[in-house]
Amino acid sequence: MISIILPTYNESSVIATTLTALAQAIQQVDVPVEVVLIDSSPDDLTVLAAQAIMLPCPLQIIRLPGKRGAGSARNTGVKAASYPFIATVDAAVLVEPDWLSTLWTTQQTTQADLVWGNTLHGPTNAFERSYLRSFYRPSFSRRFMNNLLIRKSVYLELGGLNERVHSGEDLELFAKLDQAAYPEAYVEACSTYTGYPQSVKAILRKWITFTADNVVIGQAKAKFIFVSFEVLTLLMVGIGFIFNFLLGLSLLILWLLGRFVAQVWLAKRPFESWIEFPMTLGLILVFDYSRCLGLIKGLSRRRKENP
């Protein structure tokens, strides 16, 4: 009854842990289950590591040529799925043992077309904790494609995920859901996200791409991203430096302090070491800077695609 869709790209170091957690969750449901792994890696390491894990259900492996993005991978997996219900996870997500049974029981009880689980964060070091403080807002939507049970027919009726972009591919689907009348349910089917960037370069690459893709596909929120408090303030800081160095420096300090207080208060994540104070300040700057660059890149791509 349930096909678990798992896209992978160079996940050989974590796929065993991911599948082991999935195996425990699958054992707690009494309906047929399969895992559909869609791999875009340039080598066979991820697939070989996955095949080495003993699962209590069939494992269907689909190889995609080149890095196609999560949207293309998930759409391919859903079309190849054998069962009428789709559960979606990521290789960087570890599900709890009762994850699948909680999603399935909720669907059977409510008859909802979509059941969203609860994705938790699991930073393991000072850099990851500081990175999480730099951008995380508790008011973000609880909709995450890495923790969802959905009818296959509904997924296909909505058109699946956007394959033109490599990040933010699910936002267009969420916008369609807001306009549709499909019954949804939220439940504490917990999974833990662990796939954080491990360097400043990786953070820049992730958020420049994410912001640019959102602008390209014309998401409503992305259209107004340039009026966000962070980007506007960063622009004011740059203008301040142009007119007067001390003015620019003063604005930069005030901006960093304001963002630091807001993010620490909103994230409600205590500091575990002194190094996290300057690290959080620096990563806030990196995050906002990457969004500015992503906005510029996205607008440039839109002009090229729509001259």
Residues 134-163 pLDDT 10s: 876 654 556 788 899 999 999 999 988 877
d(CA 52, CA 68): 25
223 pLDDT tier (thresholds 50, 70, 90):
very low
**Averaged pLDDT, 47-54:** 94
d(CA 13, CA 19): 12
**Averaged pLDDT, 264-288:** 83
| pLDDT for res 226 | 47
Q: What is the mean pLDDT of the chain?
A: 85
Is the CB of residue 210 less than 8 Å from the CB of residue 167? yes
* Higher-scoring residue by pLDDT: 222, 204: 204
Between the alpha carbon of residue 183 and those of residues 23, 145, 155, the distances in Å are 29, 17, 13
pTM: 0.82
Percent of the chain with pLDDT over 90: 43
**Averaged pLDDT, 77-81:** 95
Does residue 290 surpass a pLDDT of 90? no
- Note the pLDDT tens digit of each residue in 107-132: 999 999 999 998 888 888 999 999 98
Is the CB of residue 34 less than 8 Å from the CB of residue 59? yes
Helix (H) and strand (E) counts for the chain? 12, 8
| pLDDT for res 231 | 65
* Higher-scoring residue by pLDDT: 40, 213: 40
Does residue 202 surpass a pLDDT of 60? yes
**Averaged pLDDT, 2-23:** 94
| pLDDT for res 56 | 95
| pLDDT for res 180 | 85
In this structure, how many other beta carbons lie within 10 angstroms of the beta carbon of residue 3? 24
d(CA 228, CA 296): 14
Burial of 244 by CB count in 10 Å (0-12 exposed, 13-18 middle, 19+ buried)?
exposed
In this structure, how many other beta carbons lie within 10 angstroms of the beta carbon of residue 203? 21
